[in-house]
Structure 1
Amino acid sequence: MKTLKLTTFILMSLFMLSCSDDDEVMPLAEVESTTISNLHAPQEGGQGQPVSGTFTKFDFETGQETNSDTDWDIAFRGTTIAVNGGTETGTTDEPLRTSDAGVTIVNGTFEDITEVTEDIEFDQDGQDGFAIPTGSGNGWYNYDFATNILSPIPGKIIVVKTSDGKYAKIEILSYYEDAPSDIDPFEDAPRYYTFRYAYNPNDGQTTFN
């Protein structure tokens, strides 16, 4: 009888331990927030000449520039930003889209955009153009023809659905090398992005805090 009771106790203990392990919730990874400085996005041509050149690709999972043909989320060339989702736009030297990533521009401050809400719709590149519109005043920047200075539009936050289905938000801070506060367009080199971003590395999580 004692042996039977002991066996029953051991089996019940193992069952309870198994249930406890099954019910254990894995902690979420922290949202990653950082600033990227001087991401170089050169191009050839412009000013009335055909534009060409390789796009500089960026991957939020690693937080780094990448040369991968597949593992990238957004890509920069001059003022143009491509996303790894959709189809080719017909632009010379554009990267091949290999995932279902998407982007949208949301009005607000970086701090105020705390989550991806259900009403946010993500766009992709295609024959109608880039998901992030190009041209002064159309997307993320303004260009002053009197001063020859390009400036990010305040309150324009780029929200990204990444190539692996996670979410990030970006605020572009500067288009010039070392992000000068007083830009001299004849001295300060353009096509160097400084931007801050927040990236949630957790599956199914839509918040940025």
Structure 2
Amino acid sequence: MTSAQSGGRGGLFLTFEGIDGSGKSTQARMLHAALCERGHDAILTREPGGSPGAEEIRSLVLEGDPDRWSAETELLLFTAARRDHLERTILPALSAGQIVICDRFADSTRMYQGLSRGDLRAKVDQLHSLMIGHEPDLTLLIDMDPDTGLGRALSRKGHEERFEDFGPDLQRRMRAGFLALAREFAPRFRVIDGARDIDSVAAEVREIVLDHLA
């Protein structure tokens, strides 16, 4: 599998990962604003979602009872959403030379479906290789204490993240799993301490990304 940049396109593909409540979505928005202020051509997108078809699938997988889908069905739905997102949003933007900032990508599926929902990591990687075939150029992992993150996530008004309802044990396993992924894919991961104030985290994110662009 090749990264977006090494695949010959002119853009840059950046992703944010982390447990629920880690602040990654806020940091993705702040980075997008900062890059645009500096004159970079950047877009902000998310997963699941980011294209009309993928947004429809998002409502299927993130709303309703936590046991609504089997782990295998969930994996297929997320892969379908990602494929549509890739075709209709990510690849066209990269081809146009844009910076794509994505709130979650395949690493979240490696964790949520691959680790927590039935030990499907091998199937996740097989489907990813077959149907997606792209890794980010840079992944920013916002690391956060699981109990603190879950408390933040559950306090959000109108939260739709169904996986929050699996409870603190899942959050702990997800944090350990994301840190393991950061070691496995060390060349593209940067781990950032999310326990600090928002502006301090944002400053480190900007420094990392601007250094990468340079």
TM-score by length of 2: 0.24
More helix by share: 2
TM-score by length of 1: 0.24
More RCO (CA 8 Å, sep 6+): 2
More strand by share: 1
